[in-house]
Amino acid sequence: MNSAESFSASYSEARAKFVAAVTSAGGQQERIAHPERGPDGGDLTTDVAWFGPRDADRVLVLISGTHGVEGYCGSGAQVDWLKRGEQTRLAKGTAAMLIHAINPYGFAWNRRVTHENVDLNRNWIDFTKPLPKNPAYAELSDAICPDAWTADAQQLSAVTLMGYAQKNGMPALQQAVSGGQYTHPKGIFYGGNGPTWSRRTQSDIFRARLAGASKIAIIDYHTGLGPWGFGEQIVPVPRDSEAFKRAMRWYGSSVTSPSGGTSSSADISGDGLSAAAALLAHAEVTSMALEIGTVEMMQVLLALRADAWLHAHGDVRSPQGQAIKKQMRDAFFGDSDDWKGMVAGQSLLATRQALTGLQRP
């Protein structure tokens, strides 16, 4: 079997492959329509597949497309999992739920954000309480997302951002930019002013399908941080917590935590995996983000900034707009057989480890 064939070149191709794989594997399917359209005018949907008993006590959950354009990776891993017949390995009383393209707008438009321009992994906060503050982002906002995207504007922005890094350190710059912000709606890593469609949809899926489970394992696929093809296993809980220790028993000592400073990710607020434990408080939840590396971090940041400018000020269909779309895709999708094979292999190992962990007392 060639794992590279499980990956796709577009959202529409990815959805078609996923639906076909679920059908072939005999899974139960649900299609949830998104209110927006794709760049080709086509429908956008989040698709949910279920394997095993509906009243299963233990459930493995695989999520793709939390960050839209990163869905190329997650969708490919999900399709590969199905083509390998992994659903036939489920133990008695165990089920698997695959959520395909929870942010289909971002996937289809090669954006990391939702149609509300919100980073879904900064959106899972209590909006009835004071919003998290990020004064460093406000200080750098004009440099992060300038009104013009010319060579001169980019050079001036780079000087400002590198000056901040030289003064405060690169980790401080990463935290300031990507830690999340709630004050600049057209900026990057914006957490929103209320629950997004994708957050509401995922909440509904969890409540409807996982209410009877007592043990739940969640793997959420991401890209854009770390070395080419390497999958960092990020567990977004404190390192001294029982949930982190349990994840180490399942996945090994290489698991990392942003709160402990061992992860390539900034320490963020409002991510979906952290929120899952509260949303599924009746169950023991073990969550892990599988973060696959692509290109160097500053290239990723440059693509995100260009995309934010494009949708705030530019024309997506212009030559410049199409170049930025390619830049985004290249930043988050390693479109080569070696990268795809590394994703599939590391995903396969993680899912088998999770299914084994779910059977432990």
Q: Which mean pLDDT values do the consecutive 10-residue runs of the chain (361 residues) have?
A: 95 98 98 97 98 98 98 98 97 98 98 98 96 95 96 95 94 92 97 98 98 98 97 94 96 89 68 94 97 96 97 97 98 98 98 97 85
For position 282, what pLDDT does the model report? 97
For position 13, what pLDDT does the model report? 98
For position 263, what pLDDT does the model report? 60
- The stretches of the chain forming alpha helices (DSSP H) are 11-25, 71-83, 104-108, 135-144, 151-168, 170-178, 197-209, 242-251, 272-279, 297-313, 319-332, 337-358
For position 262, what pLDDT does the model report? 65
Three-class secondary structure of residue 291 per DSSP: strand
CA-angle at 315, arms to 312 and 317, nearest 5°: 140
The topology under which CATH files domain 3-127+194-297+328-358 is Aminopeptidase (3.40.630)
**Domain extents in the chain:** 3-127+194-297+328-358, 135-188+299-316
For position 49, what pLDDT does the model report? 98
For position 17, what pLDDT does the model report? 98
For position 247, what pLDDT does the model report? 97
CA dist list (Å): 144 to 24, 59, 86, 147: 46, 41, 43, 10
At 222, which helix (H) or strand (E)?
Answer: strand 215-228
